[in-house]
A and B are shown apart, each in its own frame.
Chain A
Amino acid sequence: MKSWKVLIAPSVCAMLAGLAAPALADVSIEDIVNDATTTNDVVTSGLGTQGQRYSPLKTINADNVAQLVPAWAMSLGGEKMRGQQAQALVKDGVLYVTGSYSRMWAVDVKTGRELWQYDHRLPEGILPCCDVVNRGAALINDKVIFGTLDAKLVALNQKTGKVVWTKEIDDYKGGYSYTAAPLIVPSKAHGPIVVTGVSGGEFGIVGRVEARKVDDGELVWSRPTIEGHVGTLNGKPSTMTGKQGETWPGDLWKTGGGATWLGGTYDPETNLIFVGAGNPAPWNSHMRPGDNKWSCSRIAIDPETGNIKWGYQTTPNDGWDYDGVNEVVSFDLNGTKAVATADRNGFFYVLGREDGKFISATPFVEQISWAKEIGKDGRPVFDPANRPGDPKKAADGKKGSSIFAVPSFLGGKNQQPMAYSPDTKLFYVPANEWGMDLHNEPVTYKKGAAYLGAGFTIKPIFEDHIGALKAVDPATGKIVWTYKNRAPLWGGVLTTGSNLVFFGTPEGELKALDATDGKQLWSFNTGSGIVAPPITWEQDGEQYVSVLSGWGGAVPLWGGEVAKTVANLNQGGMLWTFKLPKKLAEAK
C-alpha cells in the first residue's frame, strides 16, 4: 500500500444561522429495547431488536398513501456512488445514515440539511468481495457505531461526527471487511454491548461473533461458529463451540468457514442474540462428508457469556453455497415464542425461540430442486441428482457434467431483510426466483496457484420476473400473495399498523402495497435502484418514510441472463424522505 487517500476530515456544516440545532438526548438501552413500540424514533436496525420491521403508525394508510410526497432528498455526493444498502436511524429529529465507501451522515429530518459527514479513511487497493456497501449503524448513549470496509469498528459522537474510539475487527490485509449494522444488546455484567460478526478473510478462516463494551470498544467475549473452537470471555478461554470435529472429517473443523457477515438480532424476552453463520470451507461438499456444524446455521447466544444456547442448521453439508446468514426474526406464533428465517436455500423456517426446536419449514420460492422437502425432523431430504458432483470425475481442464439447482447461490432471499406484521400475522419476504447451472470447473486460481473451483451460472426461472415479494403465513407456510418484479429484489421491507408494506426495487421505485392482498397503492421513482430497507417514524405529528436510493451490491457483479434485467440501471446515491402533509392526513 503505497499511498493513502486524502482524508476528508469529519466536518460540521450546514449548522446555518437561524436553524435551531435539534436537542439531542442520549439513546438509552431502554430506548433500544423498546424501539419497536416507540413511533417517534428508529434507534435500531430492524425497527426493534427482534427485527420485525413493523411500525405501529397508522397515519399513512391505504386511503391516503397515494398522496405521499417527497419532503426532501439529500445526495450522498462526491464521486462515490455504487450500492447504498443501509437502513437509516432517527432520534430527536436527526437522521443517521451510512453510505458506500464507509461514509456516514447526520441529517436534520425537517430540512434534509446535512449536520455532519464522516468519511472513513480507506486504504487503496482493498478488494471487498461484493461491492463497497454498508448496511447501517447502531446508536447507543451519545455514540453512533458502524463497521468499515477495512474491518474497523468506529464509534462517532452523535453531535459532532468525531471519532470516539476505533477498534480493529481484523486485519484488512487478510481480506477482512465489515459491512453489517452492529447490534446493541443489554447485559447485566458488561452494560450495553455492541455485537458484530466478521466478513471476508482468507478462505477457511473460522467465523465468529464478538461483543464489545460500547464505551471504549473493549472486547468482552468472542464466539467461534465452527465446532471445536473455544470462545473467550473477559480475555480468557471460555467454552467450546459444539464438540471438536463431531460433524467434520479429519481436521477440517480447524478451517471450517462459517462467516457471520450479516450481523444479528436480539430478543429481549428470551435474552438471546441470534446470528447466522455462512457456508463451510472448502466449497466442494464431497471433501467434507458430515453436517459441518455450525456452518449454514443459526445460533442463539447468551449476551452475558457468549455461550451458545442453541443452534439450528438449515443446510447440513452444504454444496450449493447456501450461506446461512439470513436474519432471524422473533415473533409470536399463536402464543408460542417463535422465530422465523427465510433461508438462502429457499425454505422458510419456523423454530422455537427458546430452544431452536424445529416447528416447520416450507418453500417460499418455486421449483426448489436441491432438496425434496424439509422432513419432520427438520433435516432436508436431499435430491442427490442435484448435488454438485465430484470434480475428480471430470476430465482435467474440462467442465464436468452440469446440474441445475434452485435457488441460485444468491438465494431465495439474500441480505435484504423481511418484515413481520403482528396485525396480519404475515411475513413479507423479498424473494428471488432463480436457479443456477453448476458445473465442475476443476481448477480455479488464487494468487497464481491452482485451487478447486465451481462454475456457477445464474438463470431466471420465469420469463417475466425474478423478484417476488411474498406474504408468508408462518402458521401454515402458505404464500398468501405474491408481488412480482422483473429485476431481483435486493432491498428490505417495512410494514405498518395500517396494513401497508413498503419496499424498493432495483428499477428505482419505492412502492407501497396493501399488506392484506399485495395490491399496489403507491409508487415513486427515486432515480436509481433501491437496495436498502425503508423506515418510517413520526415527527411533529406527521408520518415520514425514508429510504436510500443507489444501485449496486452483489447482483450487478454477477453476469448471465440476470444481468439483462438490471443492465440499464444507473448508479445513484440519494436519501429520499417522504411525508404525508398534515392537511391530507386529516382530510378523511
Chain B
Amino acid sequence: MTHSLLHRFSTVLLGAVLISSSVTARPLDEVIAEGTLRVIAYLDNAPFSEEENGVPRGIDVDLAHAIARELGVKAEVILRMQGEKADDDLRANVWRGPLTGGGTGDVMMHVPIDREFALRNREAVLGNAYFQERVAVAIHPELTGTNPNFDVFKTKKIGVQLATVADYFLMTYEDGALISNVSHHVKPELGAREFISKDTAALMGVRSKIESLLHRDGMKPTLVEPPMPGIVRTDWLVGMAWKENSRDLGYAIEAALKRLRETGELSRMFEAHGVTYVPPPPPP
C-alpha cells in the first residue's frame, strides 16, 4: 500500500471515531486541521526534556517544535513522568492514556527503537530514529590514564546509575573484580557531582546525559569507549512512537525529520546542550 492510499484509508476509517476526542492520537489530517501537534516527552529527562519555571525545555522539546513547524502546525508539548518501564509509557502516552486522565499524544518522544521492544508493544508504531545513544565513560585522565581499560577500576572509583546495562557490566566484570569501586546513584545529577568533585575517577553511562550534565558545570569531559566484553548493549537508537492507526503522521514526521537533518538544524539542537550529535547509522 502506498503512503497516500494508506493515508486515505486510515482517515476514512478513523475520522468518525476520533473527531470528537481531542486527546486521542490522531492521523495527519486531523492534526493539520486543528493546527496542533500533541507531543509527549518525559518530565525529568535532561537534556532531552525537563520543566524549567513551568516551561518544557530540552532537545526533545526543541525537536517537537521544529517538526510541528515543518508540518505547518504548532506543537503542544506535554511533559509526563515515566512508568516502571518504557512499555508502560507507550500505553499511557500513545495508545490508551493514563488511568488518571490527561489522554494520549499524537507522538511520543525518546522511544527506543528495538525490535523486541516493538514486538511486545504492537499498539504503537516505533520509528523515526533521530539519534544514536551510546554507552561511554567520562574520565579524569590524570587519574585513569588517557586510554584506560576497565582494569583501572580495580583501584579507582567509577560512578554508574543503578540497574543500567553499564551497571551490570561493571558489577559482573571479571566475576565482581570491580564491585568495591563502583559508586551507584539513582539520580544522574548525583553521579555527575561525584565525578566533578573527583570522588570518582570516571563516570559510565549514556553519552548524551554525561555530556550535558557536565556541560552545565562548564566541563567538557574526556569520553572514551573502551571494549566492554559481554555488555548486553553498547548503543541503541532513540526515536518516536505514534498510534498504530496514525501511520500517515509518522510518514509526515519522517519527511520533516529528514529536512531538519539535512539543514543541520537537528545537530545544532544537540550541540546547544553540550551533546555531540550521533546520527543513527544508515540502514544496512
Contacts and interface: CB of A to CB of B under 8 A. Distances in A.
Interface of A: 1-2, 5, 82, 101, 122-129, 131-132, 149, 172-175, 202-205, 249-252, 254-255, 281-284, 286-287, 289, 390-392, 394, 396-397, 441-453
A448 B84 contact: no
A125 B86 contact: no
28 contacts: A124-B98, A125-B98, A126-B81, A126-B98, A127-B82, A128-B99, A131-B99, A149-B100, A172-B81, A174-B81, A175-B81, A203-B163, A204-B162, A250-B180, A250-B181, A252-B184, A282-B163, A284-B168, A287-B172, A396-B233, A443-B116, A445-B87, A445-B117, A446-B86, A450-B165, A452-B163, A452-B167, A452-B168
Given A149-B100, A249-B176, A286-B172, A449 B163 contact: no
B227 interface: no
B44 to A, nearest CB: 7
Contacts of A122: 100-101
B195 interface: no
Contacts of B88: 127, 129
Contacts of B168: 282, 284, 287, 391-392, 452
B206 interface: yes
Contacts of B86: 444-448
B133 interface: yes
Contacts of A397: 114-116, 232
Given A132-B99, A392-B172, A450-B164, 9 more contacts: A122-B100, A125-B80, A126-B98, A173-B81, A202-B186, A203-B162, A392-B230, A441-B116, A450-B112
Nearest to B168: A452
A101 B187 CA distance: 29
Nearest to A203: B163
A446 B85 contact: yes
Nearest to A122: B100
B172 A125 contact: no
A286 B163 CA distance: 12
Contact of B233 (A174, A205, A441, A450): A450
Contact of A451 (B101, B164, B171): B164
Interface in B141-167: 162-165, 167
B127 to A, nearest CB: 14
B71 interface: no
B226 interface: no
Interface size class of B (residues with CB under 8 A): 35 or more
Contacts of B78: 2, 125
B101 A124 contact: yes
Given A282-B162, A286-B172, A444-B85, A126 B100 contact: yes
B179 interface: yes
A443 B114 contact: yes
Contacts of A204: 162-163, 184, 186
A295 to B, nearest CB: 14
Contacts of A281: 162-163
B72 interface: no
The 6 closest A-B CB pairs, nearest first, are: A124-B102, A282-B163, A445-B86, A125-B102, A448-B110, A442-B232
Contacts of A132: 99-100
B100 A390 contact: no
B240 to A, nearest CB: 10
B184 A449 contact: no
Given A205-B186, A282-B163, A82 B180 contact: no
Interface in B225-239: 230, 232-233, 236, 238
A554 to B, nearest CB: 12
B186 A446 contact: no
B257 interface: no
Contacts, number: 164
B56 to A, nearest CB: 10
A443 B100 contact: no
A251 B184 contact: yes
A445 B85 contact: yes
B43 interface: yes
A129 B100 CA distance: 12
Contacts of B184: 204, 250-252, 254-255
B100 A101 contact: yes
Nearest to B230: A392
B83 interface: yes
Contacts of A390: 172
A228 to B, nearest CB: 13
Contacts of B44: 173
A172 B43 CA distance: 12
A125 B81 contact: yes
Nearest to A452: B168
B182 A251 contact: yes
Contacts of B233: 396, 442-443, 450
B45 interface: yes
Interface string B64-108: 000000000000001111111111110010000011111000000
B242 interface: no
B186 A203 contact: yes
Contacts of B85: 444-446, 453
A238 B161 CA distance: 29
B111 interface: yes
Interface in B110-139: 110-112, 114-117, 133
Nearest to A396: B232
B110 A255 contact: no
Nearest to B56: A2
Contacts of A284: 168
Contacts of B180: 250
A445 B114 contact: yes
B42 interface: yes
B167 A448 contact: no
Contact of A448 (B45, B83, B181): B45
Contacts of A450: 112, 164-165, 232-233, 236
